Amino acid sequence: LHAQFLTLAALAGAAVVEYYDHKTGAKADKYARQFSR
């Protein structure tokens, strides 16, 4: 269950980052680097 949830969360997070990246530009990139650690 946890592995599935983490996978879904990672995919959702990537989609959100992608969306914000197109909308705001480099600001989202900063967030992406924080979340990837």
User: For the segment 1-37, what is each residue's pLDDT rounded down to a tens digit?
Assistant: 788 999 999 999 999 888 877 776 666 566 667 776 5
Which pLDDT score is estimated for 26?
60
Which pLDDT score is estimated for 17?
83
Q: Measuring CA to CA, which residue among 12, 16, 10, 15 is closest to residue 36? A: 10
Tell me the whole-structure pTM to 2 decimals: 0.48
Q: How many domains does the chain have?
A: 1
Which pLDDT score is estimated for 33?
72
| Geometric angle at alpha carbon 24, from 22 and 27, rounded to 5° | 115
- In contact, 29 and 21? CB cutoff 8 Å: yes
Question: 18: domain range?
Answer: 2-36
